[in-house]
Amino acid sequence: MTAPVMPLASETGPRRVTVRFDLLRALVRRPSGLIGILILLVFSVLALVPDFFVGELETAVTATGPRLGAPSAEFPLGTDELGRSMLNLTVHATRISMVIGLLATVITVAVGAGLGIVSGYIGGRFDYVAMRIADFFLVMPTFVLALILTSLIRDVLGTGSKEIAGIRLSLLVIVVVIGITSWSSTARIIRSQTLSLRERAFVDRARVIGASSGHIMRRHILPNVMNLIIANTVLTFAGAVLTETTLSFIGLGDPFQPSWGQVLEAARGVGALQLGKWWYFVPPGASVVLVVFAFTLLGNALDDVLNPRRLAAR
């Protein structure tokens, strides 16, 4: 945690940047942090420029391979039931899975951290109501709510082939639903940190010189919970990828913009498991496991670096 000195307005910008570089350096020095970052780097590059590596996403029309063909020189990861290259499909699915995961994480962390800071700082009735709602979401099985909400919102909106910024509306519904159902643990964590920060002397000082609540939350509370938000973002991302994969796997994906879960669902649908066509589900399956594993490693490394209690115990 950063030292509880009162940061001057001109100081916060550059100071925060140096702190982050220290963080990155400390992470790379740990084997778990380094492995996590390297795996995520590979998948991020694939997600950014899939066309550069494997060309455009193949369709039933443009596919050239055999039906459910085993891996060969021409198709290193085999082909699916439409003759599409599994390599092409998996790399393009990487983009969809990572983008949905990222957007859902942004919503989750923004709502969770915002609500956590405001709730903790303001307190009173607002805090009470917000935290009861958070507790409710923590207790109940949010996954079942997510799957009902997803199919319901799609039915109401009538998401056909509408797209926003290149992402199909049906997938954006998943993003929003993941956000709605998973902000509560972030809010809880950030709120409890805010509660202790609120009592510190530098917050009192700011209040005494006449700073508004909004200013204090932005300038004094937020920078001090930033580390916590970063650590939480990593875990949230892993959870978002898992939730999206699971929702797609039970049939809520979009075949026109396949994610890893959607490919896995297709593999199950054509009976690849019973036919022993392992190349249909191993590439997307291994990708999911690797990415979630990388986030978990990174999360553990971050926890070691940022948690002063653990440092002391070492």
Partner 1 sequence: MGARYLTRRLLSAVATIAMIVLINFVLFRAMPGSPERMLLGRLPGVTQEVLEGTRERWGLDKPLFPDQFVAYIGATLQGDLGFSYTEAGSTVTEVLLSRLGPTLLLFGLGELVAIALGLALGAYSGWKRGGLVDHVGNAISLFLYSTPYFLLGMALLVTFATALGWFPTFGMVTPGRQYTDVLDHFGDIARHLALPLATVSLGLIGQYAILMRSSILDTLTEDYVTTARAKGLPEGRILRSHALPNALLPTVSLVAINIGYVVAGAITVEVVFNWPGLGTLTVEALSARDYPVLQGVFLLLSVTVVLANLAADLIYGVLDPRVRT
Considering beta carbons, is residue 229 or 238 the nearer one to partner 1?
238
Cβ atoms 167, 99 nearer than 8 A: yes
Cα separation, 238 vs 234, in Å, equals 7
* Beta-bridge mates of residue 167: 164
Angle at 175 between CA 160 and CA 183, to 5 degrees: 150
Q: Which of 179, 293, 155 has its CA nearest to residue 243?
A: 179
Least separation in angstroms between residue 101's CB and partner 1 is 14
Least separation in angstroms between residue 108's CB and partner 1 is 16
Least separation in angstroms between residue 79's CB and partner 1 is 18
Least separation in angstroms between residue 187's CB and partner 1 is 17
> Going by C-beta distance under 8 Å and a sequence separation of 6 or more, which residues neighbour residue 142?
181, 182
Least separation in angstroms between residue 258's CB and partner 1 is 16
In this structure, what token pair is assigned to residue 304?
């070691």
Least separation in angstroms between residue 139's CB and partner 1 is 6
State how far the alpha carbon of 132 is from the alpha carbons of 140, 187, 290, 298, in Å: 12, 11, 36, 31
Cα separation, 260 vs 96, in Å, equals 8
Cα separation, 94 vs 40, in Å, equals 11
* Torsion angle in degrees (nearest 10) through CA of 50, 52, 53, 59: 60
Considering beta carbons, is residue 71 or 223 the nearer one to partner 1?
71
Cα separation, 253 vs 96, in Å, equals 10
> Going by C-beta distance under 8 Å and a sequence separation of 6 or more, which residues neighbour residue 190?
112, 113, 116, 117, 120, 225, 228, 229, 232
In this structure, what token pair is assigned to residue 108?
């989750």
Residues that bind partner 1 (CB under 8 A): 132, 135-136, 139-145, 147-149, 151-152, 155-156, 238, 242-243, 245-246, 249-252, 264, 268, 273-276, 278, 281, 285, 288-289, 292-293, 295-297, 313
Least separation in angstroms between residue 309's CB and partner 1 is 11
Considering beta carbons, is residue 12 or 300 the nearer one to partner 1?
300
Least separation in angstroms between residue 232's CB and partner 1 is 17
